[in-house]
Structure 1
């Protein structure tokens, strides 16, 4: 067991680039992690890591050992997952990161159902729109909206999120109701949303009959977090394109009014994303399947019709909302 634990410590140091982060992710003192790594190098009679006061790097021998050790650890995780899933009792600590609006409006209200199914899972839920590094931050999976590009993580499409253009009745009474998207360029104030990762401003996009219009618009306020974006809209600070699931309650009460309803907006793909070396974890598998089922039951909030039927892709999020 010490040998397996030593291998886990080594793998986590390689993945995080830090003894401190590796020890924290494995819930052990840094001194214990250092000792286990030293014992592993002594047993193998090779140097696996180069350590300085500033950073830790893997040696050529260490890189070769990591490749084989990670496969072995994955096989062990698969064996454990098969047993726990067969018994229907996945348990332990699960670290998940979720965008703020998805967390508050969809995930958290549904957690009682999750705990009825999996009472032995302890969920650490990170909430925020700023992207995390799943490997170095030791996060098991994330739920995010955005396009996918880099081939480094496993992603599963769970929904397509529609947007709706809205404003408050007070704003429209003061500034008028736009009849065409181009009016947002010079006759109205928009609330802009910028990427928490890159700072890039996302345009307001309108589509109809093959025509596509991207509007930057005049803005006095831009934000990078979903709940703040909705709050700014409800405060009457301008016109915004918010997620339909966020807007629905306020459209129902009249606090918000949909504008330009004849124009459509591109759907935002929603994914659950997780590192490839954790795709066999019983806890992760249970949460992913529950999430897929949860979003499938949210037909009034998200679009399901355009979801791909192929298996999960090995990809990473290019941007998150």
Structure 2
């Protein structure tokens, strides 16, 4: 038995809470994962996991073993990085998830550069608004927008999200252009709702002193897809508030008009997030460094001094907003960027 391989397999079973998911993320047959864990238990002469048909739980010895395995695997990775870093580029599979618009408009066109720099990284890129559980689904890193709240994850700010409040000329010709937030009571919105909770996303506006005002608006339609959300505004169904990154071509063509510009939506952090329980591997570090560099070159999401001054904190208790613990905005609620 290869003890290092056994530790990796055991740790991944614990992290995903599933032999099947561990096998998928390690690209191993499920039967092999089971045999490796059983062999490790036999080697250590103790039961590490309590298995039932519905759950997997660590025994006291298993919990102690897991903590030590994580430290040992981290030390091994550090040793390899220190002594082989100059001779060997990062390699292996890397699973990343991010909002669709960021992926399609910014990341995908630049992936040629990433693979030229890191030809031995096999990247699996998931795109969409759907919340994911990094540990359960075996995802190495996600890119998320908003103030982060879960201390079981670690985040690094890589950019800022700039939103804009818009409506179509046809809608404004019919309903008039609101000049104050109070006038929104006389208007309709294209509403966006979060799929898991069904909660409607309010419009958000920042006052002079940095205070954020939420405005809940009525509307004849609510969607949970970013493209449909913007299409609703283009079709004259009401006011919407979305990413300037997506809306910019329509603002430049005149298909959409920015409104209420004195009350801009708050600027939110864009963060690369990875599990606390996993060591920051060379592949994850390479991707995070690369995407931070990529985002710095785009003025719509780059972290300028002006944007930083208006940006909400990365964490609810952030002391250093560039490297703090965190999770997705409000746990299950992500912004319409799918």
Normalising by the residue count of structure 1, what TM-score does the alignment of the two structures yield? Answer: 0.92
Structure 1 residues 69 and 246, CA gap change in structure 2 (3 angstroms): same
CA distance in 2, matches of 1:84, 1:229: 48
Q: Tell me the residue number matched to 2:104.
A: 104
CA distance in 1, matches of 2:303, 2:182: 27
Deviation at 1:126, TM superposition (A): 0.6
Are the counterparts in 2 of residues 161 and 267 from structure 1 also a CA contact under 8 Å? yes
* Structure 1: runs of 5 or more not aligned: none
Structure 1 residues 138 and 178, CA gap change in structure 2 (3 angstroms): same
Are the counterparts in 2 of residues 184 and 190 from structure 1 also a CA contact under 8 Å? no
Instruction: Give per-residue Cα distances to partners, 1:32-72, cap 9 Å, x unaligned.
Output: 11111111111111011111112111111101111111111
Deviation at 1:197, TM superposition (A): 4.5
SS at the partner of 2:189? strand
CA distance in 2, matches of 1:230, 1:67: 47
1:5 aligns with 2:16: no
Deviation at 1:277, TM superposition (A): 4.1
Q: Tell me the residue number matched to 2:56.
A: 56
Normalising by the residue count of structure 2, what TM-score does the alignment of the two structures yield? Answer: 0.88
CA distance in 2, matches of 1:137, 1:125: 13
Structure 1 residues 303 and 237, CA gap change in structure 2 (3 angstroms): farther
Q: Tell me the residue number matched to 2:114.
A: 114
SS at the partner of 1:32? helix
Instruction: Give per-residue Cα distances to partners, 1:66-96, cap 9 Å, x unaligned.
Output: 1111111111122233455423621221100
CA distance in 2, matches of 1:182, 1:44: 68
Q: Tell me the residue number matched to 1:261.
A: 261
Q: Tell me the residue number matched to 2:328.
A: 317
Q: Tell me the residue number matched to 2:317.
A: none
Structure 1 residues 123 and 84, CA gap change in structure 2 (3 angstroms): farther
CA distance in 2, matches of 1:250, 1:156: 31
Structure 1 residues 310 and 279, CA gap change in structure 2 (3 angstroms): farther
Deviation at 1:129, TM superposition (A): 0.8
CA distance in 2, matches of 1:2, 1:303: 45
Structure 1 residues 194 and 247, CA gap change in structure 2 (3 angstroms): same
CA distance in 1, matches of 2:239, 2:302: 21
CA distance in 2, matches of 1:41, 1:56: 15
Deviation at 1:196, TM superposition (A): 4.0
CA distance in 1, matches of 2:263, 2:163: 11
Deviation at 1:109, TM superposition (A): 2.0
Match runs of 1:72-91 below 5 Å: 72-83=72-83, 85-87=85-87, 89-91=89-91
Match runs of 1:139-288 below 5 Å: 139-185=139-185, 187-210=186-209, 212-288=212-288
* Structure 2: runs of 5 or more not aligned: 314-319
Are the counterparts in 2 of residues 94 and 122 from structure 1 also a CA contact under 8 Å? yes
CA distance in 2, matches of 1:203, 1:137: 30
CA distance in 2, matches of 1:280, 1:266: 31
Q: Tell me the residue number matched to 2:316.
A: none
CA distance in 1, matches of 2:77, 2:96: 19
Structure 1 residues 301 and 280, CA gap change in structure 2 (3 angstroms): closer
Are the counterparts in 2 of residues 245 and 302 from structure 1 also a CA contact under 8 Å? no
Q: Tell me the residue number matched to 1:20.
A: 20
Instruction: Give per-residue Cα distances to partners, 1:142-164, cap 9 Å, x unaligned.
Output: 00101111211110011221111
Deviation at 1:116, TM superposition (A): 2.3
CA distance in 1, matches of 2:87, 2:252: 44
